[in-house]
Amino acid sequence: MQKELSGKTVLITGGSRGLGAGLAQAFAERGADVAISYANSSAKAEAVVDRLKASGVRAIAVHSDQSDLAAAQPLVDRVIAQFGKLDIVVNNAGIAVQGQLVDDPDFNASDNDRQWQVNVMGVVATTRAAAAKLTDGGRIIFIGSRFGTHVPVPGVADYAGTKAALIGYAKGAARDLGPRNITVNVVQPGVMPTDMSDAMLGDPDARAAILDLHPIRRIATLEEVAETVCFLAGPSGSYITGEVLSVSGGAAI
């Protein structure tokens, strides 16, 4: 594989598992030095780092809880102290609270408020912290969801709202940072084989209903989503900014 990201440093939030770990591996395979953040499992994070180092790149894991807005600046500062610069930020960390209608008398407001804190305000804090220190010509990529623009099922209003908010913020950031040739884009994956979707995909009826929404009748692979993110982060993505790219097998048609 061509090492088109050699010499670049990337920060991937929520990089200890799922799509975040897949993204980290994809960037390492392309030659980038990788920093991942994690909130809970240090063992999983260090295992990811070990695999990245085996690819011949430098890598670190930094404990940082995205719900703590004050943690964003120290996270960015740690990456720059370790690698000397920051070229690419992938805002991947997020949580999903789903399954309740907004008029449910037992609606869990506390969990949904935390979802807004992590998925929106934590992402904004990381972006603000990184923007001033990102190298000119850098990249910021938000991992959204197809629910940000298309809501085919009930019970996801707050989750969809958090992902829709990222689209507006990304477009504004793209406008602000354009003079420095920093691109800002959103990648919207569909259903993937992650912890977040395991329970849903494990139910045969639910899985069939999900596949019925997809013209391409399968879920995405982590590699397919990572390829799109790496494309935006690489030389070929240098003139794409303020855009929303869905990797969802046509589920939003």
Would you tell me how many other CB atoms lie within 10 Å of the CB of residue 123? 26
User: CA 164 to CA 186: how far, in whole Å?
Assistant: 10
C-alpha 203 chain-centroid distance: 26
Q: Of 38, 159, 169, 239, which is the active-site residue?
A: 159
If you search the block for the tokens 């220190």, which residue do you land on? Answer: 133
Q: Which two tokens stand for residue 174?
A: 């793209």
188: number of Cβ within 10 Å: 25
Q: What are phi and psi of 183, to 5 degrees?
A: -95, 150
Euclidean distance between CA atoms 16 and 40, whole angstroms: 9
The radius of gyration of the chain from alpha carbons, rounded to an integer in Å, stands at: 17
Is 169 part of the annotated catalytic residue set?
A: no
Place of tokens 């990529």: 141
Characterize 75-96 residue by residue with b for buried, 16 or more Cβ atoms within 10 angstroms of its Cβ, and e for exposed: bbebbbeebeebbbbbbbbbbb
Looking at the DSSP bridge assignments, the partners of residue 140 are: 89, 184
Which residues are identified as catalytic? Answer: 159
